[in-house]
Amino acid sequence: MLFIGICGASGSGKTTLSRELVKALNNANCLEINQDAYYLDHPNLTLEERGKLNYDEPSIFDHDLLLQDFLQLESGQPIQKRSYDFTKHERNDQQALLYPPDVLIVEGIHAFYDERLLDHMYLKLYMNVEADICLLRRFNRDFKERGRTIDSITQQYLATVKPMYDKYIRNYFNQADVIVMRGGKNTRIVEILAGYLRDALYEK
């Protein structure tokens, strides 16, 4: 199993790149996992209290569970499909099982945070996209897909998104094997990466 990590700011095109790679590797069995599915659950807090949590800091994620699921897939065992409800701010894991793939892609803003997971990655990709473009994409996603108001998106960006980017996410640049410019629809880099991964799968 080839383990690919994709990291970068919110709205930088991580999910798009992951999907484009899966399409380009059409003969391979691929599995995409979004780190957002591994947000910690806080059942003892009210909806209002959960909404005020800092969802952009590393400690908000269940890194141990993500590592456990990776190791289970690596050993040839299926895992439970993880999910998170962004409207209720609570875990919503599914009954479905995910089976070990040829290529596993994990993407998220703190995909490179846990060194235990980082050490297993065959290829580490960092999305380098201008901050204003990331902000516009985040506004569009949170407003349309997550039912957020413009005011709440703005407040969260100023309170947590930008500070956590400056403190953590921008520095993951140094962990990467490949810096991806212009977002996930950079067709040239997708072609290059897909060719590299196909060769690696053939060698395996």
pLDDT at 132: 65
Q: Which residues of 56-77 are buried (b: 16+ CB within 10 A; e: fewer)?
A: bbeebbbbebbeebbeebeeee
* Residues forming a β-bridge with 90: 85
pLDDT tens for 142-165 read 766 666 777 877 787 788 888 999
126, 7 in Cβ contact below 8 A? yes
Position 11 scores a pLDDT of 84
Helix residue spans in 52-175 (DSSP H): 63-74, 115-118, 131-145, 150-156, 162-167
For the beta carbon of residue 18, count every other beta carbon within 10 angstroms: 21
Neighbours of 181 (CB within 10 A): 11
pLDDT > 90? residue 35: yes
Q: Which domain holds residue 124?
A: 2-203
pLDDT in tens, 49-97: 998 899 999 999 999 999 999 999 999 999 999 999 988 999 999 999 9
List the CATH number of the domain containing 87. 3.40.50.300
| Per-residue model confidence as pLDDT tens digits over 115-145 | 999 999 999 999 997 766 766 676 677 766 6
pLDDT attached to residue 148 = 74
CA-based radius of gyration for the chain: 17
At 55 the pLDDT is 93
Distance of alpha carbon 5 from alpha carbon 103, whole angstroms: 11
For the chain, what is the domain count? 1
CA distance 12 to 64: 25
